[in-house]
Amino acid sequence: MSLIVTGSVGIDTVETPDGRRADEVLGGSSIYFAAGASYFTSVRLVAAVGDDFPDHLAQKFDHFDVCTHGLEKRAGSKTFRWHGRYHENMNDRDTLQVDLNVLGEALPPVPESYRDSKYIFLANTHPAGQLALLDQFPDRKLVVADTMDLWIETERDLLLQLLQRVDGFVLNDSEAKMLTEENNVVRAADKVLAMGPTFVVVKKGEHGAILRHRDGTGALPAFPATQVVDPTGAGDSFASGMMGYLCEQDDVSVGAIKRAMAYGTVVASYTIEKFSTDRLAEIDRSHIDARLAEFTGHLHIGG
Ligand code: AMP
């Protein structure tokens, strides 16, 4: 089975409260997603960067086994840029600057060789781009989308259209509250369900994630991490392990989604150990499986 993703590809600058910072590093929702999911299945990327996108960042991505035929370097456009600063708790963050640039333009064409994709992930990007990709895959088996506060604030109507057309939606707790104006995360998830999808996953950073599915509920803690260098991309990495596993197993049942969330938790736990995709580039599938076994042990509460 093949997994296709669209989302941002960006140049990030990240500041953390211990005084560390990473300037102009590889980032973007679809980059973290594709990198993590490549450990489970073949991943196809549809996204655009500008002609200012530096070769040394593109080369960083060469490491991952991802098809980039659908990644367009657009002449005359500029690459998406994001600058964020984390709070002391390493969970909340402020966006200091965001330049949408090419993210505000049309999605590149989908290569013919991607047409048989059955699993679709619409990573955080302009909802117009998410809808444009979705429109091209009427025979899909599963489509899941993510979003972010900026799009909830600026493109609410398009997001509501998107919600009516996806099977699953992943978002973090503050985004769920913002979208639904409901403070209780579980009730917020139910309000999102009422907007259209079959299941909703609400990510709660170091407090794990909950699943509300029309056929059941799940809850998982985060992997207990002692070394959090940079949480950027944790949400996209969570989605990568989740979607990668579902695609690999070709199973979209509630049970499979719960197991998939455990894989998502583990992939995210690696991402946060270094800036950008640096830690993801050091691991292989055996690291993911070993940490999953450790995590499963943590979850065992039988007598
Ligand atoms: P996450 O930490 O999982 O929310 O993802 C962080 C990544 O999202 C960063 O690498 C940013 O480049 C990217 N990003 C930040 N703001 C946006 C936005 N409004 N739309 C799309 N991607 C974004």
DSSP 176-196: HHHHHT-SSHHHHHHHHHTTS
The rounded Å distance from CA 29 to ligand 1 centre is 5
pTM of this prediction exceeds 0.95: yes
What is the position in ligand 1's atom list of the atom closest to the CA of 31? 10
Asked if 190 and 234 touch (Cβ cutoff 8 Å), the reply is: no
Write the residue with the smallest CA distance to atom 20 of ligand 1.
125
Asked if 172 and 146 touch (Cβ cutoff 8 Å), the reply is: no
Query: Quick check: CB of 10 below 6 Å from ligand 1?
Result: yes
Write the residue with the smallest CA distance to atom 19 of ligand 1.
150
Write the residue with the smallest CA distance to atom 21 of ligand 1.
125
The rounded Å distance from CA 187 to ligand 1 centre is 26
The rounded Å distance from CA 142 to ligand 1 centre is 23
pLDDT value of position 205: 86
CATH architecture of 3-299: 3-Layer(aba) Sandwich (3.40)
pLDDT value of position 302: 81
Query: Quick check: CB of 175 below 6 Å from ligand 1?
Result: no
274 phi and psi, to 5 degrees?
-145, 170
Instruction: Using pLDDT thresholds of 50, 70 and 90, give the confidence band for residue 114.
Output: very high
Say if residue 303's pLDDT is above 80: no
pLDDT value of position 227: 86
Instruction: Using pLDDT thresholds of 50, 70 and 90, give the confidence band for residue 177.
Output: very high
Instruction: Using pLDDT thresholds of 50, 70 and 90, give the confidence band for residue 117.
Output: very high
Domain ranges within the chain, ordered by starting residue: 3-299
Question: What rounded mean pLDDT belongs to the chain?
Answer: 96
Instruction: Using pLDDT thresholds of 50, 70 and 90, give the confidence band for residue 154.
Output: very high
Helix (H), strand (E) at residue 242 = helix 234-249
pLDDT value of position 206: 87
Say if residue 301's pLDDT is above 90: no
The rounded Å distance from CA 175 to ligand 1 centre is 13
